[in-house]
A and B are shown apart, each in its own frame.
Chain A
Amino acid sequence: MIAIESLMKRYGRTVAVDGLSFTVRRGSILGFLGPNGAGKTTTLRILLGLAEPTSGTATIDGHPYRSLPAPLGTVGAVVDTSGFHPGRRGRNHLRVIARGAGLPSTRVDEVLRLVELEGVGARRVKTYSFGMKQRLNLAGALLGDPEVLVLDEPANGLDPQGIRWLRDFLRSLAAEGRTILVSSHVLAEVSQTVDEVVVIHRGRLRANSTLTDLTRRREGEAVRVRSPQAASLAELLTVAGASVEASDGDLLRVGGVSREAVGEVAAENRVTLHELTTEQADASLEDVFLELTRDESTEAE
């Protein structure tokens, strides 16, 4: 389990992380979200022992990273988009890490296969595309076959195919029961992959819940109704206490009542329905994210 407790990091007068607390349960995928500069990278660097917190703790299975007996076998991390000597061959980059961690060199070829780079391991890293470098980074994180993965913006800069590949890859890793903490400033990149989200903003926690709870709490349950008698249904629902938003012709967007309640009202009044669905959560997730982090972006400009 990953536990961040009352974490605080100051750089001079700037507070990068401000009393942040959250946990990542074993076997879950947590999306760590926030706009650029929200303090995500700083938090992850502290978690990985690369930076010292001003106060508070960040632990993995109860230990700070620096006191893990076999760090690479416990946690795999991707924290840089660079992190390679351009003149070193991809396979050699991994061999260096494996050697230092006392892992067998057979692991190097295994992880190269895993990230589908086996054909280019002999090439110098400077000839790699951005996506290939990101995969090489992932390969490095997987060398020790760790149970926990910490990935900082792994999708950053990837093309759509790369993002799709990454999503599938993370899913397969999660299916193996690994705990994954993945940060992003683009909600769409992780919304289909994660179980839970932590949203931070200016170093502070803004939300910590499952994806569905997040949208439900913010939006209530929005119900999409299509009916040839839309106008009269709108009236009936308004009387029943719902907020109704009429769009083109026969479509209504109803808030404040459940889908079932809308159905009941329609049935009681013999109103024909052509569609009755709960609004897709993903559509409003972006809005929730923007709302949670809005004042940051405007103040920051």
Chain B
Amino acid sequence: MSDLIAAEFLKMRTTRTFWWVAGLAIALSLLVTIITLATSTFEDAGDARSLVSNMGIPGLLMIVLGVVGAAGEYRHGTITSTFLLAPDRRRVLAAKAVAYAIGGVSVGVVSAALTLAISAPWLSAQGDSLSALGLDGGDLAEIVGGAVAYLAISGVLGVAVGALVINQVTAVVAVFVLLFVVDPAVAALAHPYGKFSLQGLGTKLSGASGDNVGYDLFPLGVAALVYLGYAVALLTATAAVVTRRDVT
């Protein structure tokens, strides 16, 4: 199993896609952080929280990375050599999921570090600080942990979707439609569902205050477990399909 995970890492590292998308994701979170710093006034813990929660922005692109990584094997035909070396396809899928989870952790750690590295000096230049705004070390650790978990699980979710749908473009479009149309619409119409929605879970996990989403959110730990539950459930379903499906 460790060989397969190492191979998945090597696949990730040896194409430019991963570096470009991960770089773009981190750049995006930094850009939004800088815009927030430049345009907002910081008065309370909520403001500080929404600033720091920008570190969770790469979540969406981690899903895209997982999708592209898994569906890309079918697109380029490398799935054949992958299944030839590891005929137990569930192991392949599990290895890929682990690799993208770790990829998500890595992107999350970099994104968190850079977000804080920009925010802290910027605030202190204005004679302010996160702790002065009411965000203590414990809060910060919770936000970082949540964001890192969010990115890691997003990678797994992406792998599950990509391996299920196979067609890269269809899979990416499906993710966008689900994330930006279906999920928010359902959450807006049925508030009791809100905390189960991907939007609600993402908001909670990335550490945003969630005051303006219009529905209650799960506590952080529960939100992480629910999101992980989705990813694992979909991955299990995908494994059943992938194992039966002929590779042509």
Residue positions of A touching B, CB distance < 8 A: 45, 48-52, 65-68, 71-72, 77, 79-80, 82-89, 92-93, 95-97, 99-102, 140
Contacts and interface: CB of A to CB of B under 8 A. Distances in A.
A102 B5 CA distance: 11
B224 to A, nearest CB: 30
B170 interface: no
Given A95-B14, A100-B4, A52 B82 contact: no
Q: Which among A66, A84, A89, A100 has the highest number of chain B CB atoms within 10 Å?
A: A100
A148 B14 CA distance: 29
B17 A97 contact: no
Nearest to B14: A92
Contact of A87 (B17, B85, B87): B17
A140 B81 contact: yes
Contacts of B248: 45, 51
A82 B78 CA distance: 8
Interface string B1-45: 001101100110011110000000000000000000000000000
A96 B14 contact: yes
B84 interface: yes
Interface of B: 3-4, 6-7, 10-11, 14-17, 72, 76-78, 80-88, 244, 246-248
5 contacts: A82-B77, A84-B78, A85-B76, A92-B10, A97-B85
Contacts of A48: 84
A111 to B, nearest CB: 13
A84 B77 contact: yes
Contacts of A71: 84-87
Given A51-B248, A87-B16, 15 more contacts: A50-B84, A50-B246, A50-B247, A65-B87, A67-B87, A71-B86, A83-B76, A83-B77, A84-B78, A85-B78, A88-B14, A93-B78, A96-B7, A96-B10, A140-B81
Contacts of A84: 76-78
Q: Which among B72, B77, B86 has the highest number of chain A CB atoms within 10 Å?
A: B77
B245 to A, nearest CB: 9
B246 A85 contact: no
Given A88-B14, A95-B10, A102-B3, A51 B246 contact: yes
Contacts of B80: 50, 79-80, 83
